[in-house]
Structure 1
Amino acid sequence: MDLRQLRFFVEIARHGNFTKAAEQLHVAQPAVSMAIKKLEEELDLVLFSRQERKVALTAEGKIFLAHARRVLAEVKAAEMEMGELHGLSKGEVRVGIPPMLSAYYFPDIIRDFVRRYPNLHLSVYGEGAWRIQKMIEQGELDMGVIAAGIYPENLEVRRFLREEVVVCVPKGHSFAGRKAVSFDEFMQQPLVFYKEGYYIRELIFDVTKGTGIAPNIVFETNLFSLVKSLVRNGLGISTFLRMVVSNDEDLRAVSFDPPLYLDLLIAWKKLGYLSRANRAFVDFLLDQTKDIP
């Protein structure tokens, strides 16, 4: 068994397809297939069930996947720590940021960080908070922005921002001139809403749980720019972080009654190795936001 086999195995498990894994790895597909066949022979186990063009992990494969990810994470940590003996003259930061925040909050943070550390390579992955959490756990990201609430104990977190979740309506809507709207009133309106699993949706549904009022969802998408356009054009109303709506002349941000806030955290693996480059990003972010209540 070697690291190459483990990397191939993890990529196939991620994509559910040998060809896609080979493309991602920039390796010929027959080489990937042969490596996995040899790995299965060495283990004397079948790791994938092969059905036409799709493959799925067997029960044994699922168990082995956890071990493979752990080994690769340890190898990466060792390589990073050894490399950092040469100082913070180079390094990579891989951070996951939800699209709404990457568009409206992080541009200045990223610009100033790159100016301070021009030799570091910063990669930003735009995913939802729940997906980012999973990517950190699986070692696909070094760290990322998640929402406060229920998260696994193996994550280390620091709060850097509290932002109000508001009702978003077009400027001619009956709610536009109000200071606040109840959750019941909101749920009865035509809603342009986020898909299941999107954190703001889950937050709203958790708050309104037990009211007996079914939401009137007329359209679902996780593309927040599309949500804004559809609200602006009168299809329905929605929710956003206040920062997304506050400077839009065609939209109005109205508080919930009672107000609803979202705490945002920067998170990384508690027992994983956080490189000096990643620590520099965390420290920079927290320093930039230290005066935020």
Structure 2
Amino acid sequence: MAQHSGRAMSLQYLRIFNYIDAIARSGSIRKAAEALFITPSALDRRLQDLEDDLGAVLFERHARGMRPTAAGELFLKHARHQRADYERLRTDIGHLQGLHRGTVNIAASQALAFSLFPDVITQFRQGNPGINFSVRICDHTSVIQSLRDFEADLGLVYNVQPSADISPLLEVEQRLCAVMAESHPLAQQPDLRMRDCLRYPLALPDVSLGGRMLLDAFFARSSLSPNVVLESNSFEMLRNFVRGNDAVSFQIQVGTALARVQDGVTARHVDDRGLGSRPLTLAQLKGRHLPLPAMRFAQTLSEVLSEAE
């Protein structure tokens, strides 16, 4: 009976964690209740009971919604940490029982979505068919925040600033490459200089993407004047654009099919000393014990990235 009571209490707290997290994400009792499939009045009672138990108000109520108080932020951090630990425990126990199941949650820069992740995930699942993946593609700031919010086990991000609460598992230097149509005149040259690229219109990633910061710093130090005809936060958009004209775009090397043609698009190194390179970082939240599937996938990903250096 005691064992059953303890399990029920654990599930009850996990349910409360989900309730509070849903309110914080939606900013509304009504929207959170809809997502949780309970009534708003029931959810509001759960929140009031928890606030009474803690002796603190967890949310400020405004005309435009609900916002966590300082106590609410503290509770959310604790809740997300506990929920992530519980999922890791379930995965670890499942592994001991030979179930070989679980989910790897990843947040990554968009440059990696085109070829790297589909290929590595396919390779990993051939030997681990019970492992599923959730991959969130976002800008570099959101990748780090996803680790802090326990939404992601692993983050893969280019040109990110060091943070005290983020632990790099691997860093691989990445050069920028020029991306262009396979019929482009520059596609016949094995290596390029930036001045070669600037003879043509440019389609650039916007400032939310790590490679743009590298380009802007280079242009600020040089006398070169780029003719930017398109900016986008979508590498798919940029690739599709340059496929049909003489424009040139840029992407880090691991996100390109370097020296190969894919869907009518190819890429070449840009060899300018002032352009340099920046690290692609595989990271986790410092001090967090990763679930076994995430640890194993991190090892596989590290091996692939190391071979690509």
| TM-score class, shorter | 0.7 to 0.9
**Gaps in structure 1 of 5+ consecutive residues:** none
**Post-superposition offset of 1:255:** 0.9
Aligned to 2:126: 115
**Post-superposition offset of 1:278:** 1.6
2:279 pairs, out of 263, 270, 291, with 263
Alpha-carbon displacement from aligned partner over 1:172-207 (angstroms, at most 9, x marks no partner): 778666643337975x97543333322112232344
Q: Which moved more, 1:271-280 or 1:126-135?
A: 126-135
- How is 1:158-237 mapped onto 2 (pairs within 5 angstroms)? 158-159=169-170, 161-169=172-180, 179-182=191-194, 186=198, 191-209=202-220, 217-234=228-245, 237=248
Partner AA of 2:136 in structure 1: Y
Structure 2 residue 307 is matched with structure 1 residue 286 = no
Aligned to 2:252: 241
Q: What is the rounded CA distance, in whole Å, between the counterparts of 1:215 and 1:44 in structure 2? A: 59
**Gaps in structure 2 of 5+ consecutive residues:** 1-11
TM-score (norm 2): 0.76
Q: Please give the secondary structure, in 2, of the residue aligned with 1:14.
A: helix
Aligned to 1:155: 166
Q: Which moved more, 1:175-184 or 1:140-149?
A: 175-184
**Counterparts in 2 of 1:113 and 1:210: CA distance versus 1, 3 Å:** same
Aligned to 1:144: 155
Q: Please give the secondary structure, in 2, of the residue aligned with 1:122.
A: strand
TM-score (norm 1): 0.80
Count of aligned positions? 292
**Counterparts in 2 of 1:44 and 1:100: CA distance versus 1, 3 Å:** same
Q: What is the rounded CA distance, in whole Å, between the counterparts of 1:48 and 1:176 in structure 2? A: 57
Partner AA of 1:277 in structure 2: P
**Post-superposition offset of 1:115:** 0.9
Same amino acid, percent of matched pairs: 24
Q: Please give the secondary structure, in 2, of the residue aligned with 1:202.
A: helix
Q: What is the rounded CA distance, in whole Å, between the counterparts of 2:304 and 2:266 in structure 1? A: 29
**Post-superposition offset of 1:250:** 5.3
2:61 pairs, out of 41, 45, 50, with 50
Q: Which moved more, 1:109-118 or 1:158-167?
A: 158-167
- Answer whether contact 1:48 1:56 (CA < 8 A) is retained: yes
Q: What is the rounded CA distance, in whole Å, between the counterparts of 1:40 and 1:57 in structure 2? A: 12
- Answer whether contact 1:91 1:121 (CA < 8 A) is retained: yes
Q: What is the rounded CA distance, in whole Å, between the counterparts of 1:67 and 1:213 in structure 2? A: 50
Q: Which moved more, 1:44-53 or 1:110-119?
A: 44-53
**Counterparts in 2 of 1:156 and 1:227: CA distance versus 1, 3 Å:** same
**Post-superposition offset of 1:169:** 4.3
Partner AA of 1:180 in structure 2: L
- Answer whether contact 2:109 2:156 (CA < 8 A) is retained: yes
Aligned to 2:44: 33
Partner AA of 1:257 in structure 2: D
Q: What is the rounded CA distance, in whole Å, between the counterparts of 2:246 and 2:29 in structure 1? A: 43
Aligned to 2:105: 94
Q: Which moved more, 1:267-276 or 1:1-10?
A: 1-10
Structure 2 residue 143 is matched with structure 1 residue 132 = yes
Partner AA of 2:292 in structure 1: R
